[in-house]
C-alpha cells in the first residue's frame, strides 16, 4: 500500500558534486543567454522547440522526422493516418512549449493545476486515436481525458505505479516538498532533476507522462532562470536514452540498506539520476553555446551563401543581408539598398529571394526582417543539431 512516505526522499542528500553541477549550469546558462540578441533568441527558440519535440518524441519511440514536424507547423499533413497523427502530436508538443516560453502558463509550474494543465493542453490537441490507451495484458481500451488523473492501476516496466486514490495526495506532497521557501537556489536547481524522477514515479496520467515530465522540467528550469528557449534537455536525454531509462528505473528501487538514506526509496539512486539529469542540461547548454557563437555561425552561413550564389540559387548581394540578420537580430526593409549597395529594384530582388527560400523571415509584407532556419539548411548552419540520418 502506497503512502505519502513511499515517495521519500524528495531531494538527494547535499553533496559537493551535485552543488558543483548546479553552480556550473547556472553560470553557463546565464553566459549563453546574455550572448545572443533578443530577436535572434526568438528565431533560435522556434527551431529549438521543434528540436525538443523531435527528441522528446524519439524517447517515446515516435520517430517523427524533422521535415515532417516542419510541415506540420505549416499545416501540411500527410494523408497516411499514422503519419498524420504523429505530425499532430509533434505540433501539440511545440504549441504547449510555446505557451510555456511566452509566459502563458496560467498556473504555477509547481502546482497540481499546473501539472494537469500541461497534460490537458498537450492531449486536447491530439487526434482521438492517440487518446486511446490499450491494456497490454487484457486488450481493454480506455479513452484518456486530457488533464484528468488516471483512475486505474498501471504497471510501467517493473514499476507498479501508485494506486489511483493516492495520486492527488502524492502530487500535493510533491508540490509542497519542491516549493519549500527554505530551499536555497542551488537546492532548487538540484531539485529539478529529482522532481523529474518523482513525477514519472507517480505516473499521474494514463499516458503522456514522459512528455509531461519533460515539459514540466523545461518550465521549472525557466522558472528558476536557468532554462530558456535556447536549449533543450530532451536532446541530451535522447542521446543517452539507455542511461536515462536505466537510471529512472534504478531510482524507483527501495532503499538499499542503512547507509542509503532514511526514506522509502533509494537515496543513492535519486542522487545518481539527478547528477545525470543536470549533466545532460549542462552538456546541452555547452553544445548550443558553441553552435551559436556568432563568429562560427557567421562563417558557416557565409560558406553556404557563397556556394548558393556560385550555383546561381541565390543572387549576389545575399550575404550582407544574412550577416546583418545575425549581428543585429533584425533590420528594416529600408536598409536593404544600403546593405547590398544595389539600386532599389535589384535590392528588393535579393531580399525576395532570401524570403522565398526561408533563410530570412518577416511577420508582414512590410515588417522588419530576421533570420530564418528552414529545415533543409539546418545541417549546414547548425551541424549535429539532429542525427545525421533523418
Residues in binding site for ATP: 156-159, 207-214
Give the SS3 label for residue 358. Answer: coil
Tell which residue, 368, 381, 297, has the closest CA to residue 330. 368
Is the torsion defined by CA of 252, 58, 107, 18 positive or negative?
Answer: positive
Per the residue annotation, which of 93, 119, 196, 203 is the catalytic one?
203
Catalytic residue flag (residue 203) = yes
Q: In the numeric block, which cell numbers belong to residue 342?
A: 544595389
Please give the backbone phi and psi of residue 10, each rounded to the nearest 5 degrees, phi first.
-85, -25
Phi, psi of 242 (to 5 degrees): -65, -40
CA distance 26 to 23: 5
- Residue 129 near residue 102, CB atoms below 8 Å: no
Bind-site residues = 156-159, 207-214
Crossing angle of helices 318-328 and 294-310, rounded to 10°: 160
Dig out the grid coordinates for 81 from the structure. 493516418
The helix/strand/coil state of 206 is coil
Q: How many CB atoms lie within 10 A of CB 350?
A: 23
Q: Report phi then psi at 29, rounded to 5.
A: -65, -40
What DSSP designation does 203 have?
-
Q: Any idea which residues carry the catalytic annotation?
A: 203
Amino acid at each position: 500500500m502506497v503512502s505519502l512516505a513511499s515517495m521519500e526522499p524528495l531531494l538527494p542528500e547535499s553533496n559537493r558534486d551535485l552543488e558543483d553541477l548546479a553552480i556550473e549550469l547556472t553560470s553557463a546558462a546565464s553566459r549563453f543567454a546574455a550572448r545572443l540578441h533578443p530577436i535572434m533568441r526568438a528565431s533560435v527558440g522556434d527551431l529549438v522547440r521543434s528540436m525538443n519535440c523531435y527528441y522528446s518524441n524519439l524517447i517515446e519511440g515516435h520517430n517523427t522526422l524533422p521535415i515532417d514536424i516542419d510541415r506540420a507547423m505549416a499545416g501540411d499533413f500527410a494523408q497516411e493516418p499514422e503519419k498524420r497523427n504523429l505530425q499532430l502530436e509533434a505540433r501539440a508538443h511545440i504549441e504547449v512549449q510555446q505557451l510555456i516560453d511566452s509566459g502563458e502558463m496560467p498556473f504555477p509550474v509547481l502546482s497540481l493545476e499546473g501539472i494537469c494543465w500541461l497534460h490537458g493542453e498537450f492531449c486536447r490537441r491530439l487526434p482521438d486515436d492517440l487518446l486511446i490507451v490499450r491494456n497490454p495484458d487484457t486488450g481493454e481500451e480506455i479513452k484518456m481525458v486530457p488533464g484528468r488523473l488516471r483512475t486505474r492501476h498501471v504497471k510501467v516496466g517493473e514499476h507498479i505505479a501508485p494506486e489511483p486514490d493516492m495520486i492527488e495526495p502524492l502530487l500535493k506532497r510533491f508540490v509542497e516538498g519542491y516549493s519549500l521557501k527554505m530551499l536555497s537556489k542551488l537546492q532548487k536547481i538540484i531539485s529539478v532533476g529529482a522532481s523529474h524522477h518523482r513525477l514519472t514515479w507517480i505516473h499521474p496520467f494514463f499516458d503522456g507522462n514522459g512528455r509531461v515530465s519533460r515539459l514540466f522540467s523545461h518550465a521549472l528550469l525557466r522558472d528558476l532562470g536557468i532554462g530558456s528557449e535556447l536549449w533543450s534537455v530532451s536532446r541530451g536525454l535522447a542521446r543517452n536514452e539507455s542511461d536515462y531509462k536505466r537510471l529512472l528505473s534504478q531510482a524507483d528501487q527501495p532503499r538499499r540498506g542503512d547507509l542509503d538514506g532514511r526514506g522509502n526509496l533509494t537515496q543513492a539512486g535519486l542522487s545518481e539520476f539527478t547528477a545525470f539529469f543536470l549533466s545532460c542540461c549542462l552538456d546541452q547548454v555547452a553544445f548550443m553555446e558553441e553552435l551559436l557563437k556568432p563568429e562560427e555561425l557567421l562563417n558557416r552561413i557565409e560558406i553556404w551563401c557563397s556556394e548558393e550564389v556560385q550555383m546561381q540559387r541565390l543572387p549576389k548581394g545575399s550575404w550582407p543581408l544574412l550577416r546583418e540578420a545575425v549581428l543585429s537580430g533584425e533590420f528594416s526593409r529600408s536598409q536593404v539598398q544600403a546593405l547590398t549597395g544595389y539600386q532599389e529594384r535589384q535590392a528588393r530582388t535579393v531580399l525576395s529571394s532570401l524570403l522565398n527560400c526561408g533563410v530570412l523571415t518577416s511577420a508582414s509584407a512590410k515588417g522588419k526582417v530576421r533570420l530564418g532556419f528552414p529545415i533543409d539548411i539546418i545541417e549546414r548552419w547548425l551541424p549535429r543539431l539532429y542525427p545525421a540520418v533523418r
